Structure 1
Amino acid sequence: MDGELTFEEIYSAFHPKILRYLARLAGEQEAEDLAQETFVKVHRALENFRGESQLSTWLYRIATNTAMDKLRSPSFQRIAQLRPSDDSIEGDQAGGVDWAVLVKEGKPLVEKQLIREEMNDCIRGYVEKLPETYRAVLALSEYEGLKNNEIAEILGVTLDTVKIRLHRARAKLKEELETNCEIHWIEEIPCSVMHPIK
């Protein structure tokens, strides 16, 4: 590396993006630890980075490999099975908001916000159930806005493999959502499978 960016500058510029990506890939409970592990690896390998790929591509590759190793580990599989599902949390209290009180008080747009929250929770739940290879391509493509050739480089697969995984992931997710989630139109804005309404 030509010394263009210090580790501190890289961390400052990319930590929020990498953390967000890892949360989508492995879940919010794991994201902070995975981000820390990712940047430890980046720090150790930074002097060997030759610029043969974009810095962001290199960082996402390290983050992806770190997450995949964790997701595939037997210890993670055991812990994941013991975790309570989101369904065990009372919906009315989700996110610290008492929706029943707000609806009774007639707060404006509360009903629409509640529908959005329910849809987003449902979408997130089914995204998390996808195989990790599908979650990775979806997160990199739809959330991080990377091009297919960049995704192929990050994941170490061919461009055709990325296209196939994206197609299958979207088809599987669409099928699950149509069957199991009530997708609504709010003010003519569809609840997108990839971009949950904020």
Structure 2
Amino acid sequence: MRFRIVLFDLDGTLIDSGPIILASMQHAVRTVLDRDVGYEELAATVGGQGLVAQMEELGPGRVDELVEVYREHNDPLHETLEAFDGMMDVLPQLRSEGRRLGIVTAKRHRTVALAFARFPWLSEQFEVVVGHDDTERHKPDPEPVLAALARLGAAPEDAAYVGDSPFDIQAGKSAGAFAVAVGWGGIHSDETLLAQEPDAFVRSPEELLDVL
């Protein structure tokens, strides 16, 4: 066992939420700002500072409206979410080996709860969930990762952080954890992730077992 603590991002890492995030962002911008924004431009903001900061980039001065329309569109779509193939097996395997698992996400806890309602088995795998509500600074700042480690009473050198965005890699490395990039999120390209020089890059959930 290399790492007794394994922390995960949520969107694009455990659940295939990229399509509904991008669709809801596109809907909000079209509805509030009356303009179309391509997925590539939207994807560049996903996974970091959170929804409010994302909307600030897209429509300064209209953030409250954008967030409201986004949530009205996005919340019901959680009923269509799917978990990534393999994660249902990998997470219990890690726990059976004595690992302690946590989630570090840019989502607020109310939105995490929607994902857990869709996948009750998922919430049972984790000892700690750090969301946007829990820290003053957010990914790529290391504070959320360090907050999760503090709750677990663990040191960064004993931990890996697994995520699908450049912000995850930056946060993990800055925290002193082993940063693992995953290539199945569907939002950020392999090139974008590899440019951040993660400690490991995997293309399937099963490969995680080899690097952790």
The interval holding the TM-score normalised by the smaller chain is: 0.3 to 0.5
Please identify the structure whose Cα radius of gyration is greater: 1
TM-score (normalizing by structure 2): 0.31
TM-score (normalizing by structure 1): 0.32
Using CA pairs under 8 Å that are at least 6 residues apart, name the structure with larger relative contact order, 1 or 2: 2
Q: Could you say which structure has the higher strand fraction?
A: 2
